[in-house]
């Protein structure tokens, strides 16, 4: 478990790499890769998965005699994380000893200071035109290529606590490269399909080349690394799905892109999940109301996204009664404004699952005078008409380039999701 999660976090540079890694894991376990554009022949007990952009939906079908009379059990998470995207058309320099300077666009809400003075690599997608249309190929540099250097405190008073970084002026990545074409030549060298243009269509993000690591002396140390929000949830959901037996309900893992920024064709608000659930329902029954009946028979969904762990260095940020601790088990997430989807009925179901899984649990609710984050739980609950329970493992420094969690909480979460599918 420890090394699996570390390897997954380290190798999942972007949502598309994460989905590729999970797809490989599912295929190795016997899950069938289905294309949305193809006809599906499904039988009770079948296992499969579908990929759309940076999203993935995996499922194990009901093994019941009349599967259409049973519902879905759905676990949700997201594949994207805050990052810095290169603005390639603004690349300048690289000659006469100057670094190649490429400005960035901020994706989501990263803690900007954590990206400075780090070894940064490049990862993303390059589009190549073929006879069948454009094809996106994943790329990732093998090592660090760039740095975003801090100014010294003598100039900018960075130690005062009042300095703020201007994304347009201060956060450009600096490369030791003569020009953008040379940089492309390096990263395109291993691509099976080569673009016809020297500077092809590209979507490139910076990523930390520092691997995810274990920190501590105990048998359940901390994990520190990038993308713990929310790839740790994706990891636990897929691990639990692979470990679960066939049941009367259809088990579904739905991992969406773009939670950090908005909605598009591969996000939680898209038609991806409703269409997949409809195709599953109609593989069991030709009745026009098959999908509606299965949705109505479904238990609450698990919307799994990391929670804010109590940080003793900033104790005043937390409500003492709702401050989960790293290593204390998954946290139920509550919010009166329904930024989180949990209801009182969901809270009772959450506790029932935890008792079956023998997993400790905690509760997070933001201070009454402070905002909290949002999740895909309310969006998906509204779309499908199924209640959702918002929950997740507590972590420190959410949205930092180096987040921190507990390996124990990752194991607890995996057991919890497996118990949900087996309850």
33 inside domain: yes
Residue 160 has pLDDT above 90, yes or no: no
- Give the SS3 label for residue 249: coil
300 inside domain: yes
Q: Mean per-residue pLDDT for 212-240?
A: 96
CATH number at 174 reads 2.30.250.10
Verify that 99 and 236 share a domain, yes or no: no
Q: Which of 146-155, 195-204, 350-359, 389-398 has the lowest mean pLDDT?
A: 195-204
- Contact of 375 with 305, CB cutoff 8 Å: yes
Number of domains the chain contains: 2
Verify that 353 and 314 share a domain, yes or no: yes
Range of the domain at 393: 2-81+226-422
Verify that 291 and 317 share a domain, yes or no: yes
- Contact of 75 with 240, CB cutoff 8 Å: yes
Verify that 190 and 328 share a domain, yes or no: no
130 inside domain: yes
Q: What is the C-alpha to C-alpha distance for residues 202 and 187, in angstroms, rounded to an integer?
A: 11
pLDDT bucket at 229, cuts 50 / 70 / 90: very high
90 inside domain: yes
6 inside domain: yes
- Contact of 390 with 341, CB cutoff 8 Å: yes
Higher-confidence residue: 423 or 268?
268
Verify that 66 and 144 share a domain, yes or no: no
pLDDT tens, 256-308? 999 999 999 999 999 999 999 999 999 999 999 999 999 999 999 999 999 99
Length of the chain measured in residues: 423
Verify that 49 and 96 share a domain, yes or no: no
Supply the pLDDT for residue 373.
87
Verify that 297 and 384 share a domain, yes or no: yes
214 inside domain: no
Residue 197 has pLDDT above 80, yes or no: no
Verify that 286 and 338 share a domain, yes or no: yes
| Single residue among 208, 236, 270 that ends a domain in this structure | 208
Does the N-terminal peptide bond of residue 230 adopt cis geometry, omega within 30 degrees of 0? yes
Q: Which of 2-6, 204-208, 288-292, 380-384 has the lowest mean pLDDT?
A: 2-6
| Single residue among 208, 236, 269 that ends a domain in this structure | 208
pTM for this entry: 0.96
Supply the pLDDT for residue 157.
73
CATH number at 37 reads 3.40.630.10
Nearest Cα neighbor of 336 from 328, 324, 326, 344 is 344
Verify that 10 and 146 share a domain, yes or no: no
Q: Mean per-residue pLDDT for 308-331?
A: 97
Q: Mean per-residue pLDDT for 118-145?
A: 90
Verify that 271 and 417 share a domain, yes or no: yes
Residue 88 has pLDDT above 60, yes or no: yes
213 inside domain: no
Beta strand 47-52 pairing with 32-34: parallel
pLDDT tens, 22-34? 999 999 999 999 9
Place of tokens 């048998």: 219
Verify that 293 and 358 share a domain, yes or no: yes
Helix (H) or strand (E) holding 126: strand 120-130
| Single residue among 178, 208, 238 that ends a domain in this structure | 208
- Contact of 221 with 215, CB cutoff 8 Å: yes
Q: Mean per-residue pLDDT for 87-107?
A: 92
Verify that 379 and 293 share a domain, yes or no: yes
200 inside domain: yes
């Amino acid at each position: 478990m420890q090394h699996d999660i570390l390897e997954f976090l380290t190798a999942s540079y972007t949502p598309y790499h994460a989905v590729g890694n999970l797809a490989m894991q599912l295929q190795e376990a016997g899950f069938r890769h289905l294309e949305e554009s193809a006809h599906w022949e499904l039988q009770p007990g079948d296992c499969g998965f579908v990929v759309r952009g940076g999203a993935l939906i995996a499922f194990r079908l009901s093994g019941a005699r009349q599967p259409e009379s049973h519902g879905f059990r759905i676990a949700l998470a997201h594949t994207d994380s805050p990052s810095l995207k290169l603005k390639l058309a603004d690349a300048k320099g690289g000659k006469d000893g100057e670094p190649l300077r490429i400005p960035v666009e901020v994706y989501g809400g990263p803690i900007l200071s954590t990206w400075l003075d780090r070894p940064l690599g490049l990862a993303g997608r390059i589009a190549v035109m073929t006879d069948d249309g454009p094809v996106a190929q994943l790329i990732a540099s093998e090592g660090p290529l760039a740095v975003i250097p801090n100014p010294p405190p003598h100039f900018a008073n960075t130690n005062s606590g009042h300095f703020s970084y201007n994304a347009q002026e201060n956060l450009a990545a600096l490369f030791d490269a003569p020009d953008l074409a040379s940089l492309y030549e390096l990263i395109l060298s291993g691509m099976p399909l080569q673009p016809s243009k020297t500077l092809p269509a590209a979507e490139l993000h910076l990523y930390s080349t520092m691997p995810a690591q274990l920190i501590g002396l105990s048998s359940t140390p901390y994990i520190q690394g990038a993308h713990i929000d929310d790839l740790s949830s994706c990891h636990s959901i897929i691990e639990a799905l692979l470990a679960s037996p066939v049941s009367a309900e259809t088990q579904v893992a739905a991992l969406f892109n773009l939670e950090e920024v908005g909605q598009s064709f591969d996000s939680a608000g898209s038609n991806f999940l409703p269409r997949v659930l409809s195709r599953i329902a109609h593989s069991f029954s030709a009745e026009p109301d098959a999908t509606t009946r299965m949705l109505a028979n479904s238990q609450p969904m698990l919307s799994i996204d990391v929670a804010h762990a109590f940080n003793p260095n900033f104790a005043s940020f937390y409500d003492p009664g709702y401050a989960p601790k790293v290593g204390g088990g998954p946290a139920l997430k509550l919010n009166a404004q329904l930024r989180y989807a949990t209801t009182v009925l969901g809270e009772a179901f959450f506790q029932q699952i935890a008792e079956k899984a023998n997993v400790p649990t905690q509760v997070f609710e933001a201070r009454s005078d402070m905002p909290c984050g949002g999740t895909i739980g309310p969006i998906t609950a509204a779309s499908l008409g199924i209640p959702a329970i918002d929950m997740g493992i507590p972590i420190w420094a959410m949205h930092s380039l180096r987040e921190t969690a507990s390996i124990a909480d990752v194991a607890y979460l995996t057991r919890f999701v497996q118990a949900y599918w087996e309850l």
